[in-house]
């Protein structure tokens, strides 16, 4: 069984930008978002995946991912996914032994930047860089499937 263990944070500063190792562009859409799970299609550069995640709130959840042809993914995004699509640039930043993923959103979620760290074990300790702010792991608004239905640009309490 695949398990994703992840913490999400807001950013306290832009200092992370000086430490970017590389970046990738993502476009993703949701085929289904139910109380128990979500199903999405994602394209990154010239690769694409179908992803199924449990809708568990918190630091860990079940996740299954399968590579699919990019042409199929483009058609699914255009024809079958709920709009708006999630568009973002993911920046990879190393801090100590950990690799942080910083998602800088575009489109309907422009202005939102979230840092994530994926861990290999539940409860594993990690060092937070000075540029990491408040943890939002348990805040459903920051989950991508919710951003597709309730984009950041529509939030009243930004």
Query: What amino acid positions are annotated as catalytic residues?
Result: 30
Place of tokens 């950041």: 152
Question: Please, which residues bridge with residue 94 across strands?
Answer: 99
- Alpha carbon separation from 47 to 68, 73, 115, 138 (Å, rounded): 8, 9, 23, 30
With b meaning 16 or more CB within 10 Å and e meaning fewer, what string describes 44-61? eeeebbbbbbeeeeebbb
First to last CA, the chain: 37
Which residues have C-beta within 8 Å of that of residue 81, sequence separation ≥ 6?
29, 30, 31, 40, 41
């Amino acid at each position: 069984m695949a398990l994703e263990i992840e913490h999400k944070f807001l950013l306290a500063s832009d200092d992370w930008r000086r430490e970017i190792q590389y970046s990738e562009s993502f476009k993703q859409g949701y085929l289904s978002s139910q109380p128990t799970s979500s199903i999405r299609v994602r394209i990154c550069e010239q690769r694409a995946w179908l992803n199924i995640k449990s809708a568990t709130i918190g630091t860990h959840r079940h996740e299954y991912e399968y590579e699919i042809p990019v042409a199929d993914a483009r058609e699914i995004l255009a024809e079958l996914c709920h709009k708006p699509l999630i568009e973002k640039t993911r920046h990879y930043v190393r801090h100590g032994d950990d690799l942080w993923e910083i998602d800088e959103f575009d489109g309907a979620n422009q202005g939102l930047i979230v840092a994530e760290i994926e861990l290999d074990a539940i409860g594993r300790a990690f060092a937070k860089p000075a540029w990491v702010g408040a943890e939002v792991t348990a805040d459903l608004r920051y989950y991508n499937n919710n951003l597709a239905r309730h984009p950041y640009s529509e939030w009243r309490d930004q």
